[in-house]
Amino acid sequence: MPAPIIAAYEPFSEDRAPVELALAASELTGAPVIAAAVRPWMISEGFTQPVPDAEPAINSSLERLHDDFGVATEIISGDSVPAAVHNLASRLEASLIVVGSTARGRTGRALMGSTAERLLHGAPCPVALAPRGYERTSVKTVAVGFVDSHEGHDALAAAQALAARVGARLRVVAALHPSGGLGATKSEGLRPERGAMLQGRRRVETDEALKRAVAALPAGVEVESELHVEDPADVLLRISEHVELLVCGSRGYGPLRSVLLGGVSRRLVDGSGCPVLVLPRGARMPLAEALDTRTESGVA
């Protein structure tokens, strides 16, 4: 059986966006969805114990969710919501965790709350953030932020595999920040002209790496590649308004096969106009394959 998808469900607000996004992934892969609600705990007289009267409310919320969507549900416990969900994901060797946006955000926008941030950080499998009010929709275009690194190539492979699965177009986006680091020749003490910056060594190297990466992709997907000299997060946030899924990698250091937010990915989960998928560092296989089946070693 394919490794399950866990939708982190908040039973008191009954935010169904994570379940909608998890079901959208399930439709592509056949992976079962488990809507997991965390039992709240409180400290009383120096002891940790369940919040009184919370269980009936959680059960009622999960029953309504099951009646409406037919998904499996589970109540889990832990020292915190992120710890409980991470433990469940590790125990079930989950292929994906889906979390929702905070209620403070605008409808249609991803906005990471403190719980979602902790769920994302250190997750043992890919994590997708659903914009507030998200409902399942067909995926016509998948965008991916590309950098010439192991994490960037993993993200590109996952985005290509997902685009192939749904018959979507793939936008491969590379961006270089215009302030410094482009290798442009300039007189000491003078800011280089934009034309000189565009001819910088790093821009040429990035353009060549982008072309090589796109040329190496398997056939069968319509691919559009683009290189911007602009803040990478600004570029990807703008593109998120015109695509149905945005894929990015984790930062390039930290524990292997764990999700760690870098500067760009952190900004994407705080303003994207579409779902954002963040891959663990050192993912062993493209996400689409990971959603279909467990690896031989049992690690997704």
Residue 110 and residue 101 in contact, taking contact as beta carbons nearer than 8 Å: yes
Question: Among 60-69, 209-218, 250-259, 266-275, whose mean pLDDT is lowest?
Answer: 250-259
pLDDT bucket at 251, cuts 50 / 70 / 90: low
Report yes or no on 297 lying in a domain.
no
pLDDT of 177 reads 78
* pLDDT tens-place string over residues 211-238: 999 999 999 999 999 999 888 899 999 9
Strands (E), 146-185: 169-176
Report yes or no on 206 lying in a domain.
yes
- Three-state DSSP class for 266? helix
Average pLDDT over residues 111-131: 77
Report yes or no on 299 lying in a domain.
no
State how many domains the chain has: 1
Report yes or no on 194 lying in a domain.
yes
Instruction: Give CA–CA dist 195/198, Å, rounded.
Output: 5
Instruction: Give CA–CA dist 125/119, Å, rounded.
Output: 11
- What is the number of other CB atoms lying within 10 angstroms of the CB of residue 7? 32
The token duo for 64 is: 């309504």
pLDDT bucket at 259, cuts 50 / 70 / 90: low
Residue 291 has pLDDT above 60, yes or no: no
Supply the CATH number for residue 18's domain: 3.40.50.12370
Report yes or no on 298 lying in a domain.
no
Instruction: Give CA–CA dist 29/292, Å, rounded.
Output: 6
H helical segments located in 52-104: 54-69, 81-92
Instruction: Determine the length of the chain.
Output: 300
Residue 284 has pLDDT above 90, yes or no: no
Residue 181 has pLDDT above 60, yes or no: no
Q: At what angle do helices 54-69 and 17-29 cross, to 10 degrees?
A: 40
Strands (E), the chain: 5-8, 33-38, 41-44, 47-50, 72-76, 96-100, 127-130, 141-145, 169-176, 223-229, 245-248, 276-278
- What is the number of other CB atoms lying within 10 angstroms of the CB of residue 251? 16
Report yes or no on 29 lying in a domain.
yes
* pLDDT tens-place string over residues 91-106: 999 999 999 886 554 4
pTM score of the predicted model? 0.81
Report yes or no on 131 lying in a domain.
yes
Spacing of C-alpha 283 from chain mean position: 13
pLDDT of 292 reads 46
* pLDDT tens-place string over residues 39-75: 876 454 555 555 666 788 899 999 999 999 999 999 9
Angle subtended at Cα 260 by Cα 256 and Cα 263, rounded to the nearest 5 degrees: 135
- Three-state DSSP class for 16? coil
Report yes or no on 300 lying in a domain.
no
8-state DSSP, 148? S
- What is the number of other CB atoms lying within 10 angstroms of the CB of residue 122? 17
Q: Which domain holds residue 201?
A: 5-292
